[in-house]
Copies of this chain bind each other. A is one copy, B any other.
């Protein structure tokens, strides 16, 4: 089996067991996608065509506010799922941009194939139930941190939770994720280094 297919099957197998036939069927529903560094996987206004699984590289998911300031919703690296679930489900235009910060490779499942998947292999209901459950837990935590922690605390949390991502992204993008300006991010880091 191809490396990227092994990666996605391993990811799914953490939650459900698939027969060889089911694995093949599932893989047949996927689309391979490559995006070069600095190019867009999707842009605000698009109706999201796929949910993505990253097999190589790094991407950022973000919105632009009225001032044009980017606010980063998530970073996605190998073995992560990403996309804009709201636009994917409702088929309404997205408010998000997804841009590669490294040359990246992804597997996408289209909305039509996503719907088909549940008919063909109902076990995937369980997989997505568990995947969404986990995402939900981490977004609940993140939204609580947003209202209860200082910027410095959120930075420390991020480093603790995503040690493997910190070194792959710019300080500026991290500021956009934490919810502060790059200048203040710089101050926080220099303060921590001074101690």
Contact = CB atoms under 8 A, between A and B. Distances in A.
Interface stretch (A105-113, A137-145, A185-193): A137-145
Interface stretch (A28-36, A128-136, A161-169): A128-136
Interface stretch (A41-49, A52-60, A118-126): A118-126
Contacts of A85: 133, 136-137, 140
Interface of A: 63, 65, 69, 71, 73, 85-86, 89, 118, 122, 125-126, 128-129, 132-133, 135-137, 139-144, 146-148, 177-179
A128 B134 CA distance: 12
Contacts of A86: 137, 140-141
Nearest to A142: B143
Contacts of A133: 85, 89, 128, 132
> Which of A89, A126, A137: most chain B CB closer than 10 A?
A137
A71 B148 contact: yes
Contact of A178 (B69, B147, B179): B147
21 contacts: A65-B148, A71-B144, A71-B148, A73-B140, A73-B144, A85-B136, A85-B137, A86-B140, A125-B126, A128-B129, A128-B133, A129-B129, A129-B132, A132-B132, A132-B136, A136-B136, A136-B139, A139-B139, A146-B146, A147-B177, A148-B179
